[in-house]
């Protein structure tokens, strides 16, 4: 019986859809969430992006904006990849390897931490990145995602803080 239940749970886990983007966790939690801020140079004319546009940028399909990533394995990176691209860390690694073999170019540059990433974005117009670390340096602005600013209750990009 246990094995049947375990198998059923496993199959459910396999076939369960990815978390709906933009939904805060529906389970009761006492862990606060922090928005993932998508940032760009203040001089950019872009003020808002859809999640699809953001996904295309970080998938390397939009050469006009050059994305900067946080390190693989970081909570912000895992959360961003899951919410924007719908991929796990292994999926992401495979995706970029497969693109290189197809001749479609390599992955975004990885910046060691969000604070440094924000300062790079400020210095290099044409780049776009994300961070949860504040305060932001001068020269960057935060984009609305799907028309929603980070303080909106339905803002789609967030990570859950570890319980203390």
Partner 1 sequence: MIRLALVVAGVFPAGEIQAQSPVAPAPANTAAVAADTAEEDAIAAELRAIEEEESRLHIYGFADFTFTAFLMDESSRWYDTYFSAYPTFAVGNLNLYLEKRIAPRWSSLIEFRLLYLPNGAEEVSDSGVVTQIDTSVLDYEDQTEYLRWGGISIERAWVEYRIHPLATLRAGQWLTPYGIWNADHGSPVLIPIRRPFVIGQSLFPRSQTGLLLHGSRAFGDQTLSYRLTLSNGRGPADTYLDLDHNKAVGGRLALDTPWLDQFTAGVSLYTGTYSARSRSYGLRNDEVVADDTLIEGYRELAMAADLRARSGPLLIDTEVITRQGTYADAARPPDLLVPTEQQPDYFAYGGYVLAGVRLPWLDLMPYVMGEYMHPMWATVPHIWEGAIGINMRAAPTVTLKTQFQGARFSGIRNPVMPDEPILAWEAQVAWVF
> What does each C-alpha distance from 130 to 23, 88, 120, 155 come to in angstroms?
19, 18, 11, 14
Residue 17, interface with partner 1 (CB under 8 A)?
yes
Other Cβ atoms closer than 10 A to 70: 27
Near partner 1 by CB under 8 A, which window of 22-30, 58-66, 74-82, 147-155? 58-66
Near partner 1 by CB under 8 A, which window of 23-31, 32-40, 112-120, 154-162? 112-120
Near partner 1 by CB under 8 A, which window of 1-9, 25-33, 115-123, 142-150? 115-123
Residue 63, interface with partner 1 (CB under 8 A)?
yes
In this chain, which of 26, 27, 45, 64 binds partner 1, going by CB under 8 A? 64
Burial label, 62 (beta-carbon count in 10 A; 0-12, 13-18, 19+): middle
State the DSSP code for 164: -
Cα 140 from Cα 31, distance rounded (Å): 28
Residue 23, interface with partner 1 (CB under 8 A)?
no
Residue 141, interface with partner 1 (CB under 8 A)?
no
Residue 61, interface with partner 1 (CB under 8 A)?
yes
Closest CA to 65 of 128, 142, 129: 128
Cα 150 from Cα 145, distance rounded (Å): 8
Residues that bind partner 1 (CB under 8 A): 10, 13-18, 41, 43, 50, 52-53, 56, 61, 63-64, 66, 86, 90, 93-94, 97-98, 100-103, 105-106, 109, 111-112, 115-116, 119-120, 122-127, 135, 137-139
């Amino acid at each position: 019986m246990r094995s049947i239940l375990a198998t059923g749970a496993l199959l459910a886990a396999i076939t369960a859809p990815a978390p709906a983007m933009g939904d805060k966790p529906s389970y009761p939690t006492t862990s606060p969430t922090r928005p993932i801020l998508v940032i760009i140079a203040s001089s950019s004319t872009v003020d808002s992006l859809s999640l699809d546009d953001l996904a295309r940028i970080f998938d390397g399909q939009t050469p006009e904006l050059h994305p900067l990533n946080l390190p693989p394995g970081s909570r912000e990176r895992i959360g961003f990849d899951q919410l924007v691209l719908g991929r796990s860390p292994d999926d992401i690694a495979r995706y970029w390897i497969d693109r290189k073999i197809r001749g479609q170019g390599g992955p975004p540059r990885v910046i060691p931490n969000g604070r440094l990433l924000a300062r790079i974005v400020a210095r290099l117009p044409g780049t776009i990145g994300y961070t949860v670390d504040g305060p932001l340096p001068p020269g960057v602005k935060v984009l609305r995602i799907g028309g929603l600013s980070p303080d909106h209750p339905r803002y789609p990009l967030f990570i859950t803080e570890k319980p203390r």
